Each structure stands twice: as C-alpha cells, then as structure tokens.
C-alpha cells in the first residue's frame, strides 16, 4: 500500500541549541544551568561528557544545512539559546548571537528549508536561575523581553514560532524527580514553575500578536497517552489522573485558555495552588496558541494504586496512580521505552475531538540506539533499518489520522544529527546523520537519512 501525504506537508527534524551548538572561544555566550551543573557535578553526566562537547553546529552550520537539504528537509526546528542572546538573561544583547542566528536562518532559506524557531528548550540562563528561575515572576518578564527581541530581529523571515518545548519536563526534572537542575523535590515549587511557564508562554504570544507579524506562534508539548490497565473504574480513574497531571496541565491552558477544573480542585484540596496576579488567568485565556507541536515517543501505562501512599512523604503525582508494565510490550531496549505506534494516532484523534482540531504537527518522534558504529557497512555508512521501520510504522498511523480529518501538517524526526543529550551525553544516537565521536567535525548520512530524502521527495512511501 502507498502512503501519500499532502503536497505542502512539513518534512524535517528538530534540535535544540544546548544539545548541538557547542562552544566557540569568544562567542559571548553566558552560562546556562547545564554549563553550571556540569561544572559543579560532572559525575551526574554519562561518561562525564558535558555540554561543552556537542556537535559543533555553531561552527559547521553551513555544511550541516547542506546535509539537511540532502536528507530531504523542507523545514527544520531549532531553538535559540537564551543565554547566547542575553549572556545574563536580560540587559545587553550579544551581537555575535544575533549575527549567528541571522546567518543560520538565511542559510536555511537559501536551501528552501523553512526555519521553525523554539524559544525555550530546558536552558535557563544561570544568572536568572540564581534569581529563582521559573519560580520567579521577574524571570517571566525577562523571558517576554527575550522573546520580543527574537521577534524583532528574526520575525521578518521566521513565520513559525514556539514558546516552549516540553514545558512539563523542567517541572518534572527540576522540581519533582531530580533529573534536571536545580534537582529538588518540592511539589509547591513545581506548580509555581508550571504556572509561570504557561503565563510566560501566553505573554510571549500576546507580544508576538501585538508586533503585527504575519506568522504563527505555538507551543510544543510531549503528549504521552495514558492507557489504563483495564476498564475497571479505578484503573480508568488512575489513567485520567496521570493524563491530568502530565498532559492536560499544559495542553488545556495552551489551546483552550484555561486549566482543567479537576486539576484546580485537586491543587486546592492539597493546598498547592500557585501564587498569581489579578489578570494572569485573563492573559492565559486571551492568548492561546495558533499551532500545536506534538512530541511522541512512548505511551504511559497506568493502574490503580497497589498500596496506600505515605502521606508524610513529599507529594508527587504518583500519589494518585501506579505505573503498569504491559506483558508482551514491544521495547526499545536501549532507551527502556515501549514502542507503541498507535499512540501517535490516539493523540491526534484526541486533539481533533477535544481541542477543536487545532492545526498541529508531529514535532518530535524518534528512536535512540546505542553503539550505532557496529552497523557501519564497508563504505562507512550506518545501516539503521530499525529507524526506517520505526518512522514508517508511526507515519502509517499519522496517515490514518489525516484520512480521518485531523489537521496534522507535518512530521519532524528527533533529530537531524546525533547530538549530546542532557544527562545521557552520546549514549543513544537519534540522528539521520551520524556525528563521528572520534572527530566531532565529521558527519555522514545514515541509510535512514537517505530514506528520509526519498520520503520527502515522494511525499510518502
């Protein structure tokens, strides 16, 4: 069977500044929380490899964009490094950063690759983290100034903007489970961080529309469907609670302009409501997204609590549900994640049914594999048929959703080239292009990159 997609479908990949730009002497970039965390606790990072050791896009972007074109991209989502543009998070703009991002945007356009820009991808400037990070109202204001600076300098050429990538992740990682800086466990702070993030997003959307630019601005959310173990009422309720905490907490205010009533009631009951100002909820209600990016990697399997929670322990969402390992699930053993392709269809159908069929696209989907060097053939090319099969299986379900009327506009793979991955460094590779670890300036297109070029050229497979 042939799977054909619309002529104007967005084919491309996604990346982030911290994960691929790297450092160059005298580039004027300020420290962000990752630079600082690696400096202070390098043992937390896989093989002691930190963010100073990324894939050199800052120096190699012209050649890399040429490779993007060869790998069939008509669009590419990257993020701007807040601490590169504003070394202290606010104040003086780093002109070298303005020139760098202008050059990247212009180079993409020369190659007929549409730039999609994301403003925040887990990389708080250290100077602002010291003032509280997203806990602080001042940081919300600094973010809006940063966003407005980007619109002013790049908005004439960039028509797809995103306020945040996976905003739930800094909440979970930084304030609940300890896998992002500042690595504390404090649900009250987590709620405040989440609220300020949504408020910052709404205020940036407001600033964008006030600037009378003619593009679209949205948000990118990792929407992970929660499947109950059974149809028993308590399993179903547990799955609903997981969905409320991890999906609807950001999806509802971003698209509908208001927080789910059930979540607000729960936070009130547990005494965790955030501090807010009088007009905040109005600002959120009036500044919803034009476009929704959806990141999908794996499902969430949920069951009712097996044991009563310890009410004296720090509050975490898992007080309301337990995770469930479904027998016979298909796994990516390297990442420890279940592969469930139909999840992408279920998310898209939910967006159609419950979120006004908002214009959306798959902004990340991908498969991380360890030690890919073992799959090099005699010519040096990595033969990653598993990645091609992974993409095909997900694209079949996206195609089905399209046939059923979902307003889905594109598919971006994570990621263009192998990159440094937060605490995991280069443990798992995700790229269509291989970055040679022995020489990070050297790249080669994998079999999946060649397949992706054909996919884009034929608008299907």
Across 367-386, average pLDDT: 95
Tokens 């006030």 locate to 210
Tokens 């006004």 locate to 356
Q: Does residue 372 carry a catalytic annotation?
A: no
Please give the C-alpha separations between residue 385 and each of 91, 369, 373, in angstroms, as whole numbers.
48, 12, 14
In this structure, CATH architecture of domain 10-458: Alpha-Beta Barrel (3.20)
Set 114, 172, 341, 364: catalytic member:
364
Counting every residue written for the chain, the total comes to 461
Task: Decide if 417 contacts 431 (C-beta within 8 A).
Answer: yes
237-275: pLDDT as tens digits: 999 999 999 999 999 999 999 999 999 999 999 999 999
Please give the C-alpha separations between residue 354 and each of 347, 350, 361, 434, in angstroms, as whole numbers.
10, 6, 16, 39
| Separation of CA 216 from chain center | 18
Among 58, 74, 50, 63, which Cα is nearest to 25's?
A: 58
| pLDDT above 90: residue 185 | yes
- Which pLDDT does position 409 carry in this prediction? 98
Set 135, 166, 172, 372: catalytic member:
166
217-239: pLDDT as tens digits: 999 999 999 999 999 999 999 99
- Measured over the CA atoms of residue 272, residue 273, residue 277 and residue 281, the dihedral's sign is positive
Tokens 């991380």 locate to 368
Per-residue burial over 246-267, b if 16 or more Cβ lie within 10 Å, else e, is bbbbbbbbbbbbebbeebeebb
Among 237, 259, 261, 240, which Cα is nearest to 249's?
A: 259
Q: Does residue 364 carry a catalytic annotation?
A: yes
- Going along 327-456, which residue ranges are E strands? 331-332, 337-338, 360-364, 408-414, 433-435, 443-445
| pLDDT above 90: residue 370 | yes
Torsion, Cα 323 328 333 338, to 10 degrees, reads -50
pLDDT-above-90 percentage for the chain: 94
Across 148-177, average pLDDT: 98
- Looking at residue 176, the DSSP 8-state letter turns out to be T
Please give the C-alpha separations between residue 302 and each of 173, 233, 237, 321, 401, in angstroms, as whole numbers.
20, 12, 10, 7, 24
How do the domains of the chain map onto residue ranges? 10-458
Q: How confident is the model at residue 32 (pLDDT cuts 50, 70, 90)?
A: very high
The token pair that represents 137 in the structure block: 């109202």
pLDDT-above-70 percentage for the chain: 100
Strands 75-79 and 10-14: parallel
Q: List the helix and strand counts (H, then E) for the chain.
A: 16, 15
């Amino acid at each position: 069977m042939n799977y054909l997609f619309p002529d104007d479908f967005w084919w491309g990949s996604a990346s982030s500044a911290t994960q691929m730009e790297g450092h160059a002497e005298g580039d004027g970039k300020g420290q962000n929380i990752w630079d600082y965390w690696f400096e202070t606790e390098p043992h937390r990072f896989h093989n002691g490899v930190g963010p100073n050791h990324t894939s050199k896009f800052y120096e190699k972007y012209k050649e890399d964009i040429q490779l993007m074109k060869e790998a069939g991209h008509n669009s590419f989502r990257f993020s701007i490094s807040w601490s590169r543009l504003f070394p202290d998070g606010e104040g003086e703009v780093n002109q070298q950063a303005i020139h760098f991002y202008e050059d990247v945007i212009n180079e993409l356009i020369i190659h007929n690759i549409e730039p999609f820009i994301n403003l925040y991808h887990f990389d708080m400037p250290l100077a602002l983290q010291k003032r509280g990070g997203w806990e602080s109202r001042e940081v919300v204001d600094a973010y809006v100034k940063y966003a407005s600076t980007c619109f002013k300098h790049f908005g004439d050429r960039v028509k797809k903007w995103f306020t945040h990538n996976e905003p739930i992740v800094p909440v979970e990682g930084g304030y609940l489970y300890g896998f992002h800086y500042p690595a504390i466990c404090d649900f009250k702070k987590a709620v405040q961080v989440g609220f300020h993030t949504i408020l910052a997003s709404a205020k940036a959307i407001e600033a964008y529309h006030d600037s009378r630019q003619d593009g679209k601005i949205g948000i990118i959310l990792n929407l992970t469907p929660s499947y109950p173990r059974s149809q028993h009422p308590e399993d179903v309720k547990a799955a609903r609670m997981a969905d409320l905490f991890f999906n609807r907490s950001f999806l509802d205010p971003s698209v509908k302009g208001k927080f789910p009533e059930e979540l607000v009631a729960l936070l009130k009951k547990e005494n965790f409501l955030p501090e807010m100002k009088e007009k905040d909820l109005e600002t959120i209600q009036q500044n919803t997204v034009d476009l929704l990016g959806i990141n999908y990697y794996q499902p969430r399997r949920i069951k009712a609590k097996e044991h009563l929670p310890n009410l004296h322990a720090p509050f975490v969402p898992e007080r309301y549900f337990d995770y469930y390992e479904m027998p016979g699930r298909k796994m990516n053993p390297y990442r420890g994640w279940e592969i469930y392709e139909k999840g992408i269809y279920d998310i898209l159908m939910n967006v159609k049914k419950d979120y006004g069929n908002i214009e959306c696209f798959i902004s990340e989907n991908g498969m991380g594999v360890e030690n890919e060097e073992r799959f090099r053939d005699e010519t040096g090319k990595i033969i990653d048929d598993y990645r091609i099969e992974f993409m095909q299986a997900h694209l079949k379900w996206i195609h089905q959703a399209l046939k059923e009327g979902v307003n889905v506009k594109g598919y971006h793979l994570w990621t263009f080239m192998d990159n440094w991955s937060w605490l995991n460094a280069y443990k798992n590779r995700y790229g269509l292009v291989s970055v040679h670890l022995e020489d990070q300036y050297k790249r080669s297109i994998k079999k999946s990159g060649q397949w992706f070029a054909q996919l884009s050229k034929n608008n299907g497979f």
